[in-house]
Amino acid sequence: MKAAGSGLDKGLGPVVRTIAAWSGVALPLALIGWGLIALAGAPLGEAIDGFLRGAFGGRRNAYLLTTLSRAGLIIGMAMAAWLSFRAGLFNIGGEGQLVLGGLSAALVAIHAPGPAPVAIALAFAAGMAAGAAWAMLAGVLELAAGVPLLIGSLLLNYPASFFASWVVGHPFRDVASGLPQTVLLPAERWLPNFSGTRLDVGVAFIAVVTVLVIVYGATTTHGLRARLNGQAPAFARASGLAVRRLSLQTLAASGALAGFVGALAVLGLHHRYSDGMLVQPLYAWTGIVAVLLVGLVPWAVPLAGFFFAALATGAAGMERTAAVPREIALILQACVILFVAGRTARSVPGARRDDPGS
């Protein structure tokens, strides 16, 4: 079975594999989606129309821009996860790193003195530092106390979220708004929108960062070493790679990227930090799923991120026009995760099959 399975893989490039994987996932998903829409009693054509308009249409492309904005945040979190996963580090604490990054960036952007560009730069720096620190804490817990990273990083999500809730619920609450959120950032400290649209430039930041991260993985010594450490930890150690330092540095980079995404959401999209704004849309988890869906193939990660963003905004559109509940999108997303689970073992370092024997 093992030999036969690996035999099938031979000769198929990553491109073909990825396409095959996508169609293998898409077909059953389409069937499930069709069944669910039928169950909700909506005409299929109308639902699909609503979905497509909701994801890609709108007056002056408003919905497409929403999809893009959301895709940017998901792709950012996906690249953060990709950095860790390829190095064999199961950092699933992106959510905590994202929340602390967003919170720190908001507080600094609101309270830092000085001209706007300086404050914005400081806010980004604070967000990245907070994310990096939180990710490294999970790494230190593993190295020093033996808490597996998978568990440590996951559990650190909760204190991060609750701490952020407390901060915006009490000491830094915008009391006048009546909600657990900070006050708005001074308007000159908002990231600008693309001219004539309601899309902030955060997406461009994400595009640049994504390219940088992919270049890092493909062309730098550190990127290669981190990947080798993930693919074959015993090999990395015997080859004299500084595996602890590599791991901590990679975690820091991953956490910093998550914190950066949090800062973008604050400075570009929401202009404040409000409780749950980075948790409820499931940016971090969707990012992880996007990475796993494409089997860590880096250039495909943005496509997967865009797909999930479109799924969510399209579902909202479907609800508005065809009265199909948007929860269907969540069900579909869960189905995607189930399909992914069957493929994960082969794409994530440390959980892979053996090579064919003689």
Contact residue for other proteins among 189, 328, 349, 351 (CB under 8 A): 349
Indicate the residue among 14 and 117 with the shorter CB distance to other proteins.
14
1 binds other proteins (CB under 8 A): yes
Which candidate, 251, 310, 320, places its Cα nearest to that of 67?
310
Q: Which two tokens stand for residue 299?
A: 């250039």
How many residues bind to other proteins according to rule CB under 8 A?
Answer: 36
Among 40, 224, 303, 316, binds other proteins (CB under 8 A): 224
Residue 144 touches other proteins, criterion: CB under 8 A: no
Taking the complex as a whole, the smallest distance from the CB of residue 13 to other proteins amounts, in Å, to 12
Burial label for 41, CB within 10 Å (0-12, 13-18, 19+), is exposed
Stretch binding other proteins (CB under 8 A), from 56-64, 92-100, 198-206, 213-221: 213-221
Beta bridge partners of 181: 274
Among 2, 60, 111, 198, which residue sits at the site for other proteins (rule: CB under 8 A)? 2
Residue 227 near other proteins by CB under 8 A: yes
Please identify which residue in 36, 126, 236, 279 interacts with other proteins, judged by CB under 8 A: 236
- Angstrom CA distances, 229 to 49, 81, 127, 133, 223, stand at 47, 16, 28, 22, 10
Residues contacting residue 115 through CB under 8 Å, at least 6 positions apart? none
Task: Report if residue 240 touches other proteins, rule: CB under 8 A.
Answer: yes
Q: Nearest approach, Cβ of 86 to other proteins (angstroms)?
A: 11
**What whole-number distance in Å separates Cα of residue 35 and Cα of residue 37?**
6
**Position 3 contacts other proteins (CB under 8 A):** yes
Q: Which of 320, 325, 219, 203 is nearest to 268 (CA)?
A: 203
Crossing angle of helices 202-219 and 243-264, rounded to 10°: 170
Choose the binding region for other proteins from 47-55, 76-84, 103-111, 230-238 (rule: CB under 8 A).
Answer: 230-238
162 touches other proteins by CB under 8 A = no
Task: Give the count of alpha carbons within 13 A of 214, CB side only.
Answer: 17
28 lines the binding site for other proteins (CB under 8 A): no
In the complex, minimum distance from the CB of residue 8 to other proteins, in angstroms, rounded to a whole number: 7
| Interface segment toward other proteins; rule CB under 8 A; list 2-10, 130-138, 176-184, 276-284 | 2-10
Q: Which lies closer to other proteins via its Cβ, residue 66 or residue 247?
A: 247
Residue 92 DSSP SS3: coil
Query: What would the x/- binding string for other proteins be over residues 168 to 207, using CB under 8 A?
Result: ----------------------------------------
Q: Give me the long-range contacts of 175-182 (CB less than 8 A, separation at least 24).
A: 179/274, 179/275, 180/274, 180/275, 181/272, 181/273, 181/274, 181/275, 181/277, 182/106, 182/107, 182/110, 182/272, 182/273, 182/274
Least distance in angstroms from the C-beta of 339 to other proteins: 23
352 part of the interface to other proteins, by CB under 8 A? yes
At 350, list the tokens: 């440390």
Q: What letter represents residue 291's amino acid?
A: V
Cβ atoms of 198 and 65 within 8 Å: the answer is: yes
Q: Which is nearer to other proteins, 7 or 186 (CB)?
A: 7
Residues at the contact surface with other proteins, assessed by CB under 8 A: 1-4, 6-11, 219-222, 224-225, 227-228, 231-232, 234-242, 349, 352, 354-358
